Amino acid sequence: MRRAVALVGLFGIVGAGLSLSVLPTTRTSAAPSEQRTFLIPAGDGYGVADCISSKAECGKIVADAWCEAKGFAKASSFGLASREDFTGSLSKTKATPARTPEQPLVITCGG
C-alpha cells in the first residue's frame, strides 16, 4: 500500500515538473497601437484646463502625466472635447439653460 501511494506521489511530482517546463517563458504586453480616450471635466479643481485647452507646452506635460498615471506611455492628443465626444449633447432647442456647462477636456493616450 505504501509503495502505491509513493508511486502516485512520484508521478504527481514528475507531472507537475513537466507541466511547468512547457509553460511559455515570454511575457505578453499590450499592443503599441492600443489607444484610449479620457474625458475630464474642465472644472476638475486641479487647474489644468488652461494648459490642455490652449494646447500650450504645459498641456503636453499634463497630458503625458495623465496617461502615465493610467498605465500608458504618453498622450497622442489632447484638447477640448468636441460635442460628439461626450454624451448628453443635444442640438440647440428653443429652451436655453440658465448656465451653459463648461466643455470637457479630452486626452487620448497610447502610441
C-alpha cell at 50: 488652461
d(CA 97, CA 27): 53
The reply to whether the predicted model has a pTM over 0.85 is no
Closest C-alpha among 111, 4, 107 to residue 55: 107
* pLDDT tens, per residue, the chain with 111 residues: 777 767 666 666 766 665 666 666 665 555 456 899 888 888 877 777 888 887 778 889 989 998 999 999 999 999 888 877 776 655 555 555 555 567 888 999 986
| pLDDT at residue number 84 | 73
